[in-house]
């Protein structure tokens, strides 16, 4: 950003004397060239470089002096720059340069604008501010002789909040029912007119000037009727006034493919499945103890031959299916939540089965390393029934393609039945929510918010274009009404669908204040008043720090470090990368880590470096894992592998502190999730090619154990306990059922060897993957698949039943958890020994049995924990302890938990 421009008393005086008369076309006047300092881009009305941040202030990143500056507005939107002059008929609002630029309070609220020049709206023109916001807006600067120096569009999100948010944030939007009669309300403060299209007829709506909300009260007969809003508004993206027919952003029901909203009362008893009002939930698990299975609705059942409703919400009511039987086993072991990938209205899936394309070839015929399968799947990917769903169209309506009928309220009833089915199986339900972007913006077909209040709900860059750092059109929850939409939507899911938790996609793109507002609103929900206990709803999300808002550039973000101590957890990538090795975007996927053989079982990849380099990196990974096992506590003090006494925050993770949490529960541990390769596929790339299927299964359990046995919550991608593979696909968001479907029956395999993964995101790794896909050592059988799941369930049960894994404070972790061999000559590369209360846990990632001598425990009785001693893993049963020497013997590629006698 440039510094504030110099100003003169002459320029200020001329600005104060500027006429208020209408601006008329000057096309007949002799053209005058703009000042060289700002030409030619300075005269560009397709950009919006000025920002009207409150009723009295415009911020503009401009250089040099000007004699006058104005806002020019035209309701019909016909202002243009012609021959270096502003042409068209408009009205003027005079601006005065503000000495010293933005105030301290304004800089604090808009830190990214701190170096902008500030201009104050002339007091005589302030009565026209609201009217000006309903048309085209242009900010101009001119020299003393009238030469146009600068002209640009104007961003208005700040002034809209200043003028309207106090009243608008209290308004009830969308369809609201009272006594069976609906009221429909839409926030559209910049609209020139808004009407309701109901059953093909136009109904007038009334505007409230204080809030900018348009509303209309309807009759009982409106219930169940289809509707849209007809909004006439200036649209900067197309530089004209448009009339948009648009669905309700607060929709509670939709027709198929979201073509119309439906006026529906979610409290209507007809929409409640049997037993809904009396639904008994499993006992709430505190976030710090949550064991979570991340699951995609369609993946769960689409290839389950025992499911009666494959690919649907109702598959979770098929109690006798293989999938539901497996979920019940996990619940009995101690898994507490199923985290559903996005299940709100998705913009990239045709909702009618008849409109969904399917691959037109025999996918089972080509070889396991062929590129034919991916080519066939890719041809229909854009029109098939599959997508992860990170493409929100309407935030508060269930996705229609998962319902037996997408038209109407079946999706509402069946989503509720899904929640019932999961709750009845002992599992609470978490929704993956995506409020940080929309599937489209501007005048695109699938744009909703931006057609109603253009330039407000989407986050804009300095030139007025929509930010796309999230891969799509970013939203701006820092703006009051987008923030309100987030809160209102989540409260609806909690109250009306009895959802037990929410996972925020790219939560770091939200302000911390917005997430805390969500927490406050949920906490206010009570069983007596709302039917749910909001304080028991868990919240966690991706606290990544990147994009135009990185490092708190625009607001205090909901990132890992900023959310510590709030009770809202963030995913921790520290342990994930240490256990797998390298990072998700390595050019060579063979970079090894703790659980993939680094130094102790090296592969052929030169990317791992020399043996000395491997050993050093492995020991550092062990330090990262030690921090992860504490719950990523920033203040936890221990001796690192180099023998130094350090805090968790002093251990380096790619230039950032490894430890950032204030208490157990602030950080969520995981070894894999839907993003990047599944754990099995990552280990396929990283373990030596000749590693047997049985050894791979053991490393899978070991890797999952580093998250399961850590303090705080942990998450696992569904099927990872069954060695789930996506045939090496690192980004299967649109790869169809062929690469994504879960296989609950071991006789159906684990998904490996279904061909080379789709080229768009994987072709650069095909050379690494092709020889793996035909390797017999990478095709597990039932012994490996079922054995992995059983061993994992033992660990989950151990985690759920031992209080030592559920320490409530950082102080308890400091006093009860230790790494007795860290930083000593006894620390073994590839082995972590953790003392935790009356337990000792040994993670042996090496291909040999290991002896861990803990002399401080000499003469103390320990034995393999009964759950493992009587458990499913025959290998770990050979783990032993010698009391006389304080020695723990642990077999290769095993995690063993010992209990004090």
Q: Is the distance from CB of 739 to CB of 729 less than 8 angstroms? A: yes
Phi-psi region of 749 (alpha: psi -120 to 50; beta: other; left: phi over 0): left
Task: Round to whole Å and give the CA distance between 70 and 339.
Answer: 52
Maximum Cα–Cα distance across the chain: 103
Within 10 Å of residue 655's Cβ, how many Cβ atoms? 5
Helix (H) or strand (E) holding 588: none
Task: Round to whole Å and give the CA distance between 684 and 765.
Answer: 13
Residues annotated catalytic, as ranges:
505, 542
Question: Strand runs (DSSP E) across 98-239, as ranges?
Answer: 117-121, 136-142, 148-155, 174-178, 181-187, 193-198, 201-204, 206-208, 213-217, 226-235
- Whether the ω angle into residue 40 lies within 30 degrees of 0, i.e. cis, is yes
Looking at the DSSP assignment, which residues form a beta bridge with residue 69?
A: 95, 141
Task: Round to whole Å and give the CA distance between 137 and 154.
Answer: 6
Task: Round to whole Å and give the CA distance between 149 and 841.
Answer: 71
Q: What are phi and psi of 785, to 5 degrees?
A: -65, -50
Task: Round to whole Å and give the CA distance between 173 and 200.
Answer: 22
Question: What are the angstrom distances between the C-alpha of 320 and each of 197, 306, 309, 315?
Answer: 46, 7, 12, 10
Number of H helices and number of E strands within the chain? Answer: 23, 43
Q: Is the distance from CB of 57 to CB of 51 less than 8 angstroms? A: no
Phi-psi region of 716 (alpha: psi -120 to 50; beta: other; left: phi over 0): beta
Task: Round to whole Å and give the CA distance between 429 and 299.
Answer: 16
Buried b (16+ CB within 10 A) or exposed e, 820-839: bbbbeeebbbbbbbbbbbeb
Within 10 Å of residue 536's Cβ, how many Cβ atoms? 19
User: How would you classify the pairing of strands 538-541 and 569-571?
Assistant: parallel
């Amino acid at each position: 950003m440039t510094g504030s421009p110099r100003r003169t008393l002459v320029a200020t005086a001329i600005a104060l004397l500027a006429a208020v008369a209408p601006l008329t076309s000057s096309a007949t006047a002799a053209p005058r060239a703009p000042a060289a300092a700002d030409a030619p881009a300075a005269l560009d009305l397709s950009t919006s470089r000025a920002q009207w941040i409150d009723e009295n202030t415009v911020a503009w990143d401009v250089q040099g002096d000007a004699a006058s500056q104005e806002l020019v507005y035209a309701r019909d939107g016909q202002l243009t720059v012609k021959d270096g002059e502003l042409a068209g008929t408009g009205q003027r609002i005079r601006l005065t340069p503000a000495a010293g630029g933005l105030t301290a309070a304004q800089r604090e609220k808009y830190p990214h604008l701190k170096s902008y020049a500030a201009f104050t709206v002339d007091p005589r023109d302030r009565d026209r501010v609201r009217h000006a916001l309903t048309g085209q807006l242009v900010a101009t600067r001119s020299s003393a002789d009238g030469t146009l120096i600068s002209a640009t569009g104007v961003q208005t999100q700040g002034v809209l909040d200043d003028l309207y948010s106090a009243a608008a944030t209290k308004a009830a939007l969308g369809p609201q029912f009272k006594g069976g009669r609906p009221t429909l309300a839409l926030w559209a403060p910049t609209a020139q007119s808004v009407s309701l299209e109901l059953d093909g007829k136009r109904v007038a709506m009334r505007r409230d000037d204080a809030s900018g909300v348009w509303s209309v009260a309807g009759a009982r007969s409106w219930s169940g009727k289809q509707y849209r809003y007809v909004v006439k508004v200036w649209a900067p993206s197309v530089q004209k006034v448009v009339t948009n027919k648009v669905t309700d952003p607060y929709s509670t029901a939709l027709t198929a493919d979201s073509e119309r909203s439906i006026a529906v009362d979610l409290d209507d008893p007809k929409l409640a499945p049997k037993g809904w009002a009396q639904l008994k939930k499993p006992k709430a698990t505190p976030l710090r103890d949550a064991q979570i299975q991340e699951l995609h609705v369609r993946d769960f059942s689409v290839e389950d031959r025992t499911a009666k409703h494959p690919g649907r919400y109702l598959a979770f009511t098929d109690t006798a299916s293989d999938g539901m039987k497996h979920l019940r086993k996990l619940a009995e072991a101690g898994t507490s939540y199923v985290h559903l990938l996005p299940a709100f209205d998705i913009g990239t899936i045709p909702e009618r089965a008849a409109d969904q394309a399917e691959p037109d070839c025999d996918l089972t015929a080509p070889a396991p390393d062929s590129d034919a399968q991916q080519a066939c799947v890719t041809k229909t990917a854009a029109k098939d029934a599959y997508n992860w769903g990170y493409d929100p169209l309407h935030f508060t309506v269930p996705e229609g393609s998962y319902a037996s009928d997408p038209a109407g309220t079946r999706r509402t009833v069946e989503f509720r039945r899904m929640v019932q089915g999961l709750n009845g199986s002992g599992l609470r339900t978490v929704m993956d929510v995506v409020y940080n972007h929309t599937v489209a913006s501007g005048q695109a077909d699938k744009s909703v918010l931006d057609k109603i209040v253009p330039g407000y709900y989407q986050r804009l860059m300095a030139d007025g274009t929509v930010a796309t750092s999230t891969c799509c059109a970013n939203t701006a929850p820092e703006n009051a009404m987008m923030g309100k939409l987030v809160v209102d939507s989540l409260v609806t899911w909690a109250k009306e669908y009895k959802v037990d938790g929410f996972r925020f996609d790219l939560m770091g793109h939200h302000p911390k204040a917005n997430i805390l507002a969500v927490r406050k609103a949920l906490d206010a929900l009570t069983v007596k008043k709302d039917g749910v206990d909001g304080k028991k709803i868990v919240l966690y999300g991706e606290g990544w720090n990147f994009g135009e808002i990185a490092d708190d550039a625009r607001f205090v973000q909901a990132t890992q470090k900023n959310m510590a101590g709030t009770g809202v957890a963030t995913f921790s990538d520290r342990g994930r990368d240490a256990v797998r090795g390298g990072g998700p975007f390595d050019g060579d996927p063979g970079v090894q880590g703790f659980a993939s053989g680094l130094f102790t079982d090296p592969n052929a990849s030169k990317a791992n470096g020399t043996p000395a380099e491997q050993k050093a990196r492995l020991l550092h990974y062990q330090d990262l894992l030690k921090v992860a096992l504490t719950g990523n506590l920033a203040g936890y003090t221990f001796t690192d592998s180099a023998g130094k006494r350090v805090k968790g925050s002093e251990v380096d993770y790619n230039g950032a502190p490894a430890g950032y949490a204030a208490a157990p529960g602030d950080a969520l541990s995981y070894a894999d999730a839907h993003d990047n390769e599944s754990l099995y596929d990552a280990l396929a790339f990283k373990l030596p090619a000749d590693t047997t299927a049985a050894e791979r299964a053991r490393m899978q359990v070991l890797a999952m154990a580093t998250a399961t046995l850590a303090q705080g919550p942990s998450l696992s991608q569904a099927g990872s306990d069954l060695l789930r593979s996506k045939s090496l696909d690192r980004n299967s968001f649109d790869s169809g059922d062929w690469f994504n479907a879960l296989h609950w029956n071991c006789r159906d395999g684990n998904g490996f060897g279904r061909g080379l993964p789709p080229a768009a995101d994987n072709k650069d790794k095909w050379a690494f993957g092709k020889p793996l896909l035909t390797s017999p050592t990478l095709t597990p059988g039932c012994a490996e698949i079922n054995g992995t799941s059983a061993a994992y369930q033992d660990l989950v049960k151990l985690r759920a039943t031992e209080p030592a894994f559920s320490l409530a404070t950082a102080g308890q972790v400091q006093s009860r958890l230790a790494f007795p061999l860290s930083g000593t000559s006894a620390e073994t590369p590839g082995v972590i020994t953790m003392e935790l209360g009356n337990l000792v846990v040994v993670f042996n990632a090496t291909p040999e049995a290991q002896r861990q001598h803990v002399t401080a425990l000499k003469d103390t009785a320990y034995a393999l924990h009964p759950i493992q001693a009587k458990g499913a893993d025959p290998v770990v049963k050979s783990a032993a302890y010698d009391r006389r020497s304080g020695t723990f013997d642990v077999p290769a590629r095993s995690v063993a938990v010992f209990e004090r006698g």
